[in-house]
Amino acid sequence: MTKLLDRAIEIAKELPAEMQDEYAGVLLRLMGEDDGEVYELTPEEKADIDEALAEVERGELATDEEVRAMWAKFGL
C-alpha cells in the first residue's frame, strides 16, 4: 500500500461509520468491485453537470490562484 493510500485510510478510520461506508463504496466502485448497481444521477445533479459543461464551453474556468486558495482552504 502506498503512503498516500495508507494516510487516507487512517484518516477515514476517524470518520463516522456512515461516511466510512460511503467512501468505501466509492473506492470499490472505482476499482470495479461494486455490487453492479449503476448510480442514477438526480435531476439536480444532471443540471449541475450541464451547467458545469456550459461554463467550460464559455471558458469560465477557475484561475490558478482560485484553485490554490480552494486547496489551501482544506489544508491541501
For the stretch 7-18, pLDDT in tens is: 999 999 999 999
Give the pLDDT score at 18.
94
- Statement to judge: residues 17 and 28 lie in one domain: yes
Name the residue range of residue 20's domain.
Answer: 1-39
pLDDT at 31: 84
- pLDDT tens column, 27-75: 888 887 766 676 778 999 999 999 999 999 999 999 999 999 999 999 8
Residues 26 and 51 in one domain: no
Q: What is the pLDDT of residue 41?
A: 86
Same-domain status, 31 and 51: no
Q: What is the pLDDT of residue 36?
A: 67
Residue spans of beta strands (DSSP E) within 1-76: none
Tell whether 5 and 33 lie within a shared domain. yes
Task: Verify that 32 and 47 share a domain, yes or no.
Answer: no
Let me know the angle formed at the C-alpha of 19 by 17 and 52, rounded to the nearest 5 degrees.
Answer: 175
Q: Please list, residue by residue across 15-41, b when 16 or more beta carbons sit within 10 angstroms of its beta carbon and e when fewer do.
A: eeeeeeeeeeeeeeeeeeeeeeeeeee
Please check whether residue 20 is in contact with residue 13, taking contact to mean a CB–CB distance below 8 angstroms. yes
